């Protein structure tokens, strides 16, 4: 009888251990759902932060805020992914959008800091009176000049934005933001 008792206790212990393993597995499954919820929350927070950077710059010059458009963000994200191998800050072939592309050295850059760099460059170098890029930025004139990135952020007729950020194979961070309607055309002032 004592062998039967030991066998029953062993079965109970094994069942208890199995139920704990099952509970841990189930909790890990919920952790996966929790992890997905966490990723969605971080993504929403990133979108809000990117919009805040853009819209603060726009508010400072008296233009209406931008709206985040998921479809535009999808285009930007796919283009960013296509640059993962070389991390080159090249413009995409989507010419129906305005576009800003920025590479930050290392993975420490978040999307907000990358977008803030565009605004900071413009605040330092863009001269509204002459509608030109001044100082050190003048040497970097052209389609990728710092002022062009800034003026796209604050372009008065632009109403929508979507962005995508990746970490490239090199370990650097790449942010692509697409804008609609596009700005930086003709000799017009951005605001």
Can you read off the two tokens belonging to residue 65?
């805020």
- Has residue 37 been placed in a domain? no
CATH number, domain containing residue 112? 3.40.33.10
Mean pLDDT of 96-122: 89
- Has residue 104 been placed in a domain? yes
- Has residue 4 been placed in a domain? no
Phi first, then psi, for residue 10 (nearest 5°) are: -60, -45
User: What domain range includes position 129?
Assistant: 67-180
- Has residue 5 been placed in a domain? no
Q: How many domains does the chain have?
A: 1
Place of tokens 């850059």: 109
- Has residue 36 been placed in a domain? no
Strand partners, 167: 173
Strand partners, 102: 175
Mean pLDDT of 124-142: 74
Phi first, then psi, for residue 87 (nearest 5°) are: 55, 30
Q: What is the pLDDT of residues 51-93, one digit of tens each?
A: 999 999 999 999 999 999 999 999 999 999 999 999 999 999 8
Which of 39-53, 54-68, 148-162 comes out lowest in average pLDDT? 39-53
């Amino acid at each position: 009888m004592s062998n039967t008792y030991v066998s029953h206790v062993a079965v109970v212990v094994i069942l208890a251990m199995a139920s704990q393993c099952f509970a841990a597995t189930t909790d890990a499954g919920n952790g996966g759902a929790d992890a997905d919820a966490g990723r969605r929350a971080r993504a929403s927070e990133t979108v809000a932060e990117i919009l805040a950077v853009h819209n603060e710059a726009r508010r400072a010059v008296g233009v209406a805020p931008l709206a985040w458009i998921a479809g535009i963000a999808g285009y930007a994200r796919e283009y960013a992914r296509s640059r993962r191998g070389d991390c080159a800050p090249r413009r995409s072939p989507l010419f129906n959008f305005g576009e800003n592309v920025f590479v930050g050295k290392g993975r420490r850059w978040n999307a907000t800091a990358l977008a803030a760099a565009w605004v900071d460059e413009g605040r330092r170098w863009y001269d509204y009176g002459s509608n030109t890029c001044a100082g050190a930025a003048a040497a970097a004139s052209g389609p990728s000049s710092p002022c062009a990135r800034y003026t796209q952020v604050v372009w008065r007729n632009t109403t929508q934005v979507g962005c995508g950020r990746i970490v490239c194979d090199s370990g650097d961070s790449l942010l692509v933001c697409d804008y609609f309607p596009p700005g930086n055309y003709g000799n017009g002032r951005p605001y």
